[in-house]
Amino acid sequence: MRQRNRPDRSGFTLIELIVALGVGSLIVGVILGGIQLTRAAAARAACQNNLRNMALALQLYADENKAYPPAIRRSNDPFPYLTWQARLLPYLEQEGPWRELEADFKARPQFWQPPRHRGEARTISTFLCPAEPLSIAMVPSARSPVGFTHFLGVSGTSSVAADGILFLNSKTHPTEISDGLSSTIAVGERPPSADLHFGWWYAGVGQIADGSADSVLGVREYITTFRAPTCLGRDEGFRPGRQSNLCDAFHFYSNHRGGANFAFADGSVRFLGYKAGSVLPALATRAGGEVVDFPE
């Protein structure tokens, strides 16, 4: 009796191959998605850690100087237009950059005149968030590299109102924060501006020589700068933004999904979702007397 030849089943059929590829793609997608989530969580945690270090440095500065640092001072100061962050260097174990800064300001108090100060092109890791891609760039107006920060001080509802902790010529003492240290935000996230003129950690003038939108920001900031004539008015507040959009430089936001990190005056750090935009004005004032209920 003749035996029929059976077809060889050692390979895959086209349908089986398509199914296998589909399953493989799904598995790779799940793995990559998990890696992205892990990286995002790590970046957010690193941001929070840097914010805690800054909040602690603010407390140490206030203990020693009987007040928090000013956003900037324009005159009657050995460091005109130096930001509040730069004044924290000695309290962040950055004595080397601080001594360099002191020498450069002594030699050239006008930091914007050539030759530029060495610290302007430096980056300080504590002032950066790994979730943000831009930390240093060549700025045409400076004709040199400029180091950025991803964190701005909170001037209050606006830099004009100056009802927060850090603003032009401020000398806020912790006892003046009658709303409570745990209910008042001191620092929040915001990437550099699209034109690279705002967000310098070292020194800067801001919108109207008050540091606004540059080293500090109000949560309902007035937009008065000639650098953004299409954005003039009053910013609508806490919401998502893009670093490529100049108008987004006038409100707090981050590259994290759904919100941004904020440091409170008591040294705690909290991630606030964009739904918290309605209560941010109450959190930004030092003595507004508001009662804050965080949205779910």
Q: Cβ(201)–Cβ(85) under 8 Å? A: yes
Identify the pLDDT of residue 34.
Answer: 62
- 82 beta partners: 203
Q: Cβ(166)–Cβ(68) under 8 Å? A: yes
216 by DSSP, 3-state: which? strand
**Tens-digit pLDDT profile for residues 209-258:** 999 999 999 999 999 888 888 898 889 899 999 999 999 999 999 999 99
- 222 beta partners: 234
Identify whether 71 is part of a domain. yes
Residue 139 phi/psi, 5° resolution?
-105, 115
54 by DSSP, 3-state: which? helix
Asked if the bond preceding 115 is cis, omega within 30° of 0, the reply is yes
What is the number of H-type helices and E-type strands within the chain?
Answer: 3, 9
Query: DSSP letter at 148?
Result: B
Alpha helix ranges (H) inside 66-136: 95-107
- Number of domains observed in the structure of the chain: 1
Identify whether 255 is part of a domain. yes
Identify the pLDDT of residue 209.
Answer: 94
- Residue 143: pLDDT band by 50, 70, 90 thresholds? confident
Domain of 222, in residue numbers: 32-284
Identify the pLDDT of residue 40.
Answer: 73
**Tens-digit pLDDT profile for residues 258-284:** 999 999 999 999 999 999 999 999 999
Identify whether 176 is part of a domain. yes
Identify whether 118 is part of a domain. yes
Written as six digits, the tokens of 222 are: 């007035």
Identify whether 2 is part of a domain. no
**Tens-digit pLDDT profile for residues 71-126:** 999 989 999 999 999 999 999 999 999 999 999 999 999 999 999 999 999 999 99
Whole-angstrom distance, CA of residue 245 vs CA of residue 253: 12
Q: Cβ(146)–Cβ(120) under 8 Å? A: yes
Whole-angstrom distance, CA of residue 64 vs CA of residue 72: 18
pLDDT at residue 175 tops 90: yes
Whole-angstrom distance, CA of residue 284 vs CA of residue 52: 18
Tell me which H or E stretch contains 136: strand 136-139
Whole-angstrom distance, CA of residue 278 vs CA of residue 54: 25
Sign of CA dihedral 199, 203, 204, 205: positive
Identify whether 261 is part of a domain. yes
pLDDT at residue 206 tops 80: yes
Query: In terms of DSSP bridges, do strands 259-264 and 233-234 run parallel, antiparallel, or are they unpaired?
Result: unpaired
Burial annotation 2-23 (CB, 10 A radius, 16+ → b, else e)? eeeeeeeeeeeeeeeeeeeeee
- 216 beta partners: 153, 212
**Tens-digit pLDDT profile for residues 6-64:** 555 556 677 766 776 677 667 666 555 565 667 778 889 999 999 999 999 999 999 99
Identify the pLDDT of residue 24.
Answer: 66
The separation between CA 296 and the C-alpha centre of its own chain, rounded to angstroms, equals 24
Identify whether 40 is part of a domain. yes
Identify whether 291 is part of a domain. no
> Residues with Cβ < 8 Å from 175, sequence gap 6 or more?
none
Written as six digits, the tokens of 172 are: 């806020």
Residue 262 phi/psi, 5° resolution?
-135, 140
